[in-house]
Amino acid sequence: MNAREFGPAKVENEVLSLLLLQKMCPKIPVPRVLAYSEEGRTLHKCDAGGTAASSENLGTGFPGWVLMTRLPGRPLDACDRSPEDLSLLSRQLADIVASWRKDIPCAQGSANIHYQPFEAEKLELGDGDDGCPPATSFLDFWKMQINWKIKDIRQSSVFSDGTEEIVVSVSDILENVLPRLLSKTPIEHDRFVFTHGDLFPRNILVSEKKPPRITGIIGFEFSGFYPPWKEYVQEWQPYKRLADWPAEVYQQFLINVEASGDSTLHSTSQHDRAVIHELYRLRNYLDSGWLVDEYGEEAAAARAKSEIENAVKALRQLANMSP
């Protein structure tokens, strides 16, 4: 049982991602969906082929959930594996990522996946808790990502009296700086590929026997169609504590991804890398919750405000540079 604390959007997203992979990439080991409920009131059952087979009213109103098959293996704990094991597993993971990026057609917009199996029998794209329309350009993608965070900080007291000053500064970046950045740089290809979005060792199951092999990929609640570089999130967020992947293992994974036929990182210029890095820095520090446990609320807010100011300054400088 998974997704027991998810809202309807995340439940739909997990289910549809698994059904999509089952259909388009049958060799990739992912759980098979048996049944699910977006909000705990309606039960949807799936047949062996992943098709929604029946629906019934539960009337309970508990949080959503997904019932799926259990895959063999244990979550990868990178710290307990030998360098040889990690090298082998990183090659396998690179092949898996390259496979779903190649075999699942690109989408015309960036979003999570939503589904109405018994009403419309179709797949739709949407994003956010409210399932707003998908972003159809990289500019729309970044505006959507950062505007969510602006909405969040306006509803919280994280930055106290400095909230509106931050909002004004960041809004100016979105309206006046970002369009210039994305109009002068090759990253505006507006190609959206299937992306796991949370590809860390806790979501990778491996066998306990030697030589190790990947027996399953799980945790698709954040997956969807996104810009090609989003899958390689650690590449763009080295400042954030993502202690899951040791740096040397992650770099080997990136090398293996390119060897498997994905040229995303190789074809991204230093200027474009800097733009992506600063936009992720801006987005993640607008949400300073992940800093609170380490620094405390007051220090976390001060650190986040400083990083936001630095990101804003860097983006203005990049907009005035030639790529």
The pLDDT of residue 218: 95
> How many Å apart are CA 40 and CA 7, to the nearest integer?
10
In this structure, which amino acid lies at residue 111?
A
In order, the DSSP letters of 295-318 are H-HHHHHHHHHHHHHHHHHHHHHH
> How many Å apart are CA 74 and CA 9, to the nearest integer?
27
pLDDT single digits (tens) 120-151: 344 444 444 444 567 778 888 899 889 989 98
The pLDDT of residue 119: 39
> How far, rounded to the nearest angstrom, does the alpha carbon of residue 42 sit from its chain's CA centroid?
27
pTM of this structure: 0.82
65-69, 77-81, 186-190: range with highest mean pLDDT: 65-69
The pLDDT of residue 71: 96
| Tokens linked to 100 | 């779903």
Q: Is the dihedral of CA 185, 191, 196, 199 positive or negative?
A: negative
> How many Å apart are CA 191 and CA 22, to the nearest integer?
23
Q: What is the mean pLDDT of residues 294-313?
A: 90
Delimit the domains of the chain by residue range. Answer: 8-121+190-226
pLDDT single digits (tens) 9-40: 788 889 989 999 999 999 999 999 998 887 76
> How many Å apart are CA 119 and CA 55, to the nearest integer?
11
The pLDDT of residue 96: 96
> What is the pLDDT confidence band of residue 308, given thresholds at 50, 70 and 90?
very high
193: helix, strand or coil: strand
> How many Å apart are CA 318 and CA 271, to the nearest integer?
8
The pLDDT of residue 254: 87
The pLDDT of residue 235: 57
In order, the DSSP letters of 67-118 are EEPPPSSEE--GGGS-HHHHHHHHHHHHHHHHHHHHHSPPBSSBBEEEE-TT
The pLDDT of residue 153: 86
pLDDT single digits (tens) 253-302: 888 988 888 888 777 788 888 898 899 899 989 987 777 777 888 888 88
Write phi, then psi, for 28 (nearest 5 degrees). -80, 125
- The residue among 45, 288, 271 whose CA lies nearest residue 153 is 288
Burial of 13 (0-12, 13-18, 19+ CB in 10 A): buried
> How many Å apart are CA 25 and CA 102, to the nearest integer?
10
> What is the pLDDT confidence band of residue 108, given thresholds at 50, 70 and 90?
confident
Q: Specify the DSSP element, H or E, that contains 257.
A: helix 247-259
Beta-carbon count within 10 A of 196 CB? 24
CA gyration radius for the chain? 21
